[in-house]
Amino acid sequence: SSAVDPSFCCFLRFDEIKEGDVVRHEGKRSDGYLEHIFKHAAKELFGMDVKEITYKALKNKDFQEVTLEKDGETVLRFASAYGFRNIQNLVLKLKKGKFLYHFVEVLACPGGCLNGKGQAQTEDGKPDKALLSQMEEVYAAIPVRLPETNLHVQKMYQDWLEGMDSKKAQETLHTQYSGVNQTASNLDIKW
C-alpha cells in the first residue's frame, strides 16, 4: 500500500516544468517562509499591506525578530532561530513562560538552509562563503509568485483537495497540538 494518495501524483510531474516556470516564495533566501507568512498574516488579520520586513537581531544574526505594530501596539511578533543554540534558547523561554512569539521559523543549520552541511564546502570542511553568496544571488534572481496565485496550487486544491475549505483540505493540511505528559526516557534532553 502506498503512503501517497495516487491522485496526488499528477502534481509531482517535474518533467513538465520549464525553466521559466520556476518561482519562489517571498523571502531573501531559500528558508524565508517567515516573510511570506508574516505578510499574509498582516493582511488577513489586520488589513495591513506590508511591503518590506525589518529583521531585528537579538542575541546574534541567527536569532532575529520581526514585529508588526498597529496603533502603537505590537500585534504580531515572529522570530527566526537558526542553529541548535538558538533553538535551545527558544525552548527555554517557552518553558519559563516567556515565549512572546506568534510564529517561529526554526532551522537546524546556523545561517539557514543554504549554509547547511549538504552544501558545498571548502577542503577543510568549512562553508564556502563565495559559493554561498553566489547561491543567494541566484535564488534572489528567481521571480516571486504568491502560492495563492500559482495555477498548480489552485489546481491541486480543486482536483485533489476538493476545494479550499473542504473537509479533505482541513484533514490533510491542518493539525492540532496537545500537551504531552513528561516521561522518563534515555533520550531526555535537558533544555
C-alpha cell, 99: 515565549
- Provide the 10 A C-beta neighbour count for residue 190: 4
| Furthest CA-CA distance within the chain | 55
Q: Which of 116, 136, 120 is nearest to 128 (CA)?
A: 120
- Per residue in 51-75, is it b (16+ CB within 10 Å) or e — as a string? eebeeeeeeeebbbbbbbeeeeeee
Per-residue pLDDT band for 2 (boundaries 50, 70, 90) equals very low
Closest CA to 136 of 17, 22, 18, 27: 27
Check residue 129 and give its pLDDT.
Answer: 77
| Per-residue pLDDT reduced to its tens digit, 104-154 | 988 887 776 666 666 667 778 777 778 777 877 877 787 777 777 778 788
DSSP letters of 157-188? Answer: IIIISSSTT-HHHHHHH------------TT-
Give the model's confidence band at 50: pLDDT under 50 very low, under 70 low, under 90 confident, else very high: very high
Q: Which domains does the chain have, with CATH numbers?
A: 29-112 (3.40.950.10), 126-172 (no CATH)
Q: Which residue has the higher pLDDT, 126 or 2?
A: 126
What pLDDT sits at residue 183?
A: 62
How do strand 73-82 and strand 103-107 relate by DSSP bridges?
A: parallel
The residue among 71, 35, 73 whose CA lies nearest residue 53 is 35
State the pTM of this model: 0.65
Alpha-carbon distances of 175 from 64, 85, 95, 171, 178, rounded to whole Å: 26, 27, 22, 7, 10
